[in-house]
Chain A
Amino acid sequence: MPNLYKSYIIPFIEIGAKILSIFTIFIIIRLLTQEDFGQFNYINSIVLVFSIFLDLGTNSKAYTLSLQNKLTDLSRLFYTRIILSATILILFNLIILLLTNLSFATIGVYSIVIWLTSLIAFLKLISRGRGFYRLDALAITIEPFFKTLFLIIVFYQINNISIDKLYLLLLSVSSLSIIIILLKVKNYFSFSFSSNFLNGMKSKKLFSPLNILFCIMCF
């Protein structure tokens, strides 16, 4: 199928995946008690606000670089992103665990889930920029698909679940998805590791006024 037609299909796949993600909320609401569902949304809100720092503007930068076919810069950006976002993830967890009474089993695990999800989104945009629509479609659908499947199984087998176990389930879904995506990515492109990958940090987007302003406001 020509790429032009495939590019038209992608938005529909994206909307389908979004609907699937919303559907999982309705399963989760039936799996958790009312108090746990409140806590689930509370933790989600904290992690979603924090996820602004995980992206660091690298997703749009990756899309532009892949459109321009700048593979060396893309490799640098990939490793820079992993190192920076992992550092932010550790700092976030340290701050949360020291200052609040939330446990690592909930907020820590969920922040790792979001970290993996944002990494999938990063790889999705590279695939889109380079015109690998099959890989793009896989990156869009894989996580919502596994999440829905696992939750339906849990719903029919166990009927209710504690919030800690739910987060572990979401972590296993994200881990499984990223492993499959990374295995598939190998068939399309590879990221060569070079010692000067930190040059990617010079990217203007990482320290954009928006990121700095938001950091100040959150503190």
Chain B
Amino acid sequence: MFLVAIQRIEIFFIKERINFETVAIYFSAFNLILVIQLFLRSSITSRYKLFVDKKIGRRQLFLELGIALLVILVISYYTIPWVFSIVYTNDYFAGITIFRILLLILPFYLINTFFINHFNVINMPQINTIILSITFTVKLIVLLLLNSLTMTNYAWLSIGFEVFITLGFSIAFMPLKFKKS
């Protein structure tokens, strides 16, 4: 739920500082990203069970998911104008650029979903809460401070904060890994 809040917080700023039409275009791209995220989340949660049962190793898990992600990224990048022409009306075509930028979120989203699952499984959900609440607060402050952003800037900012979450999880994961070894 924190992730939902983090992903959607810029919507309030786009509405306040630009207009509803821009919100609509931004969300036309974001809705399609959510479809891909749903697929990635279900892939990682179903594969994670095999990883926990030690039927597959971490390397194999990431290799499989990495290849799947690469295929999704390439196909989505090139087919998106066609998808937009089927799903949306002409008013939303500006969303194609936003969609292509937001595609960069997906590799980090995949890693973050893995970390969130991992910390839940090892009974340390408080790490998820801490990192996601820090990100939420920092993003809120950054959005309050930056006044004149365009729709494209908001998309890049979203990617930046997805990377921020990945870095946070990696820092939290490091000591656990060394402790284990």
Which A residues fall within an 8 A CB radius of B? 11, 15, 18, 22, 25-26, 29-30, 34-39, 41-42, 45-46, 48-49, 51-52, 55, 209-210, 213-214, 217
Contact = CB atoms under 8 A, between A and B. Distances in A.
Contacts of B92: 29, 34
29 contacts: A22-B34, A22-B35, A22-B38, A29-B88, A29-B89, A29-B92, A34-B20, A34-B25, A34-B92, A36-B20, A37-B27, A37-B28, A38-B15, A38-B22, A39-B23, A42-B11, A42-B12, A42-B20, A42-B23, A45-B11, A45-B12, A48-B4, A48-B8, A49-B8, A52-B1, A209-B126, A209-B129, A213-B133, A214-B133
Contacts of B15: 38, 42
B21 A35 contact: yes
A34 B129 contact: no
A49 B1 CA distance: 8
B21 A30 contact: no
Given A29-B28, A42-B12, A213-B133, A34 B5 contact: no
Given A29-B28, A48-B8, A213-B133, A34 B35 contact: no
B53 interface: no
Task: State the 8 A-B residue pairs at the shortest beta-carbon distance, nearest first.
Answer: A38-B20, A38-B23, A38-B24, A41-B27, A45-B8, A37-B24, A52-B1, A35-B20
For chain B, the bracket of interface size reads 20 to 34
Q: Is the interface of A mostly helix, strand, loop or mixed?
A: helix
B137 A217 contact: yes
B147 interface: no
A20 B34 CA distance: 14
Nearest to B140: A217
Contact of A38 (B1, B19, B42): B19
B32 to A, nearest CB: 9
Nearest to B2: A214
Interface in B29-44: 31, 34-35, 38, 42
A60 B23 CA distance: 33
B144 interface: no
A18 B87 contact: no
A34 B87 contact: no
B24 A41 contact: yes
Contacts of A26: 87-88
Contacts of B31: 22, 25
B5 A41 contact: no
